[in-house]
Amino acid sequence: METILTAVGGFAVGLVALFVQSWWRRRRAKAWRADLGQGGRTTMGARLTLPGRWSRSGQLALAAGHAVWAPRWGTGRVDLTGGVVLHSGMATGAWSTPDDVLLRIQLTDRRVVEMALGEEYAGLLVGVLRSSPSAGVPKPPSAPKPGRSWWAWLLLGLGGLWVAYCLSMYVTGYSASVEVVGGDGEGFCDVVWTDADGIERSGEADCDDEPTGSLLDVRVTGWPDPGDPTTPGLYVGIALMVGLPPALVGGLRLLYLRSRRNAWSASVPGSAAVEPAHPLPPLTEDDLRLLPGEQPAALLARLAPYTRRQIPRDDWEDARRPAGATSAVRPRSALLGFLWPIGLVAIAAAIAWPLPAQWYALTSGPTTIATATSTGERALESFGPVPESVTVRFRDGDGRAREADVAVDNLPPTGSEVDVEYALADPSSARLVGKDDALGRGVGVCVAVLLIALLWCTGLAVLLTRRARAIRIARTTEPRPALGLLIADAVDGTPVVLAVDPLVSPVTFVPVPVRLPLPEGTCAHFQAYAAPSLSVRGALRAGETVVLEVDGLAGSLLPAAPATAVSGQVALDLLDSVGAQARSGDDSAPEATLARLGGGDRPPA
């Protein structure tokens, strides 16, 4: 019960922490939005990933129509002004929090970068990028407020004060030769000596537990704490042990703030205002309907600009595998799937492996009963339903002393006598006799874990087998013509094909997640053609396994999961993840922010 309460308490604390973090972010975003609406400036933390480089943490400075990012350490300032947000999705990196959003931004130099920041702050950045720099609005400062430094100077002062205190005692003191008259055997000796005035003094000095009568060279402390005999090494040790940690923390903080200032001053922005590229207007449900006399291919051509910006340049293809994914089941994914149940069994074995071994020894051979004495030593701590074990001592039939660990429900007091049943072939395998015996429960827990792992592996094997069989069957069906758009999943950024049957009215989008890597040239093909023609093998409806073939390309797009059915709102978010906030009516939406920033009317697509 204690373990359960601890787990529940930890879960509750985590929920409260997430709620407080989300509330604080919303509060700060609201204040920053007000500052931006009045022509002010603000800064916030964000992580940026440049093409071919690792993600770096830094500071994002925003003003009306201007956005600049600088790393926390070193140089490498990036001007985001004029950039276009290509895609918005959930941030899943190791440094991300549950509320973080990942934005793919195309800069004015055509580079595509990724920025991870809080969901509440993402609306501010998108709105700033959509707005145009207006006259009279200053750019972000070349050296924004780097952070508070008063506590760093305080720590440096405290560390320096302590070092000065030790130095003063050393300088104002005097050297003396002291005689050891006793000691505690733990590195300190009682000593006596005669000072310059001929007065005999006594005290305690650090030593190596020298014998009585030995002489030590020490430095007797002076002002402000005189009269304490101390070796020079202890002076240095005490000064560094107490004074170095705060001085080190304070110094690193000041170096960090200096690095942030240098990062902003390393690149001077140009004097000419940067005009942002015209972003696409947010899609509406009317945009997903056919116009009078319009064909499905024309509809997909209207939507293609929204999907092209989601396609990365080289992340979805692998030059070493030009045909793309060819196996029905990805070996790595299958292996990772089986690692979970195997890990569950390994954890259970690491915690309670002696219990099944003891049970087998007791049930597979002759046993006898003896009176044992409890040592009170826990051999195994209770963990959830796994019982705890205590060490007992007893004598076997030959009179030899034995020890065994027995599983118990209630820990017997130290020195109390209990009856135990032990195996004659292995006296270390024993169990209590009576109601406090918990060996059966421990073995039952281990068996339950093993059964769960076996069922898990069996279910996973059946799932993978059915998926491979469904793909093989789909490949044997006759191909049907279709149209499609390639997009990125908003959660993990994996490719999804929005397939459309041109013979079905009204137009229905069927998302088909596809396996990585894609056949070579797939991304370029979807970028070049507004409504690429596809060949579909399998029924193009929700829940079915669909194999796609792109006309003019070698290789197939194998499904990573069955096709799904989506509503109009979900289809809008898949096609235009950047405009999702504007459609939701959120006050932090980019369009609302744009109006407050005075960015003018939205430019045409």
The three state secondary structure string of 32-50 is: HHHHHHCCCEEEEEEEEEC
Alpha-carbon separation of residue 5 from 10, 411, 442 (angstroms): 8, 20, 21
Q: Give the model's pLDDT for residue 155.
A: 93
Three-state SS for 92-147 is: CCCCCCCCEEEEEEECCCCCEEEEEEEHHHHHHHHHHHHCCCCCCCCCCCCCCCCC
CA dist 46 and 366 (Å) reads 68
Q: Give the model's pLDDT for residue 313.
A: 64
Sequence length of the chain is 605
Tens of pLDDT, residue by residue over 98-154, are 778 888 888 877 788 889 888 888 888 888 887 755 444 455 544 556 667 889 999
pLDDT surpassing 70 at residue 55 = yes
What does the pLDDT average to over 550-566? 83
Query: Which of 252-266, 423-437, 468-482 is least confident?
Result: 252-266
DSSP letter (8 states) at residue 359: H
CA dist 309 and 277 (Å) reads 13
Confidence of residue 263 (pLDDT cuts 50, 70, 90): low
pLDDT surpassing 50 at residue 598 = no
What does the pLDDT average to over 251-261? 78
What does the pLDDT average to over 479-508? 83
pTM over 0.75: no
- Residues in Cβ contact with 184 at an 8 Å cutoff, skipping those fewer than 6 apart: none
Q: What percent of the chain has pLDDT over 90?
A: 8
Confidence of residue 258 (pLDDT cuts 50, 70, 90): confident
Q: Give the model's pLDDT for residue 146.
A: 63
- Residues in Cβ contact with 386 at an 8 Å cutoff, skipping those fewer than 6 apart: 351, 352, 380, 442, 445
What are the two backbone dihedrals, phi and then psi, of residue 178, each rounded to the nearest 5 degrees?
-110, 155
What does the pLDDT average to over 68-76? 78
Q: In the beta sheet, which residues pair with residue 402?
A: 394
Q: How far apart are the first and last CA of the chain?
A: 62
Q: Give the model's pLDDT for residue 605.
A: 33
What does the pLDDT average to over 444-465? 87
pLDDT surpassing 90 at residue 161 = yes
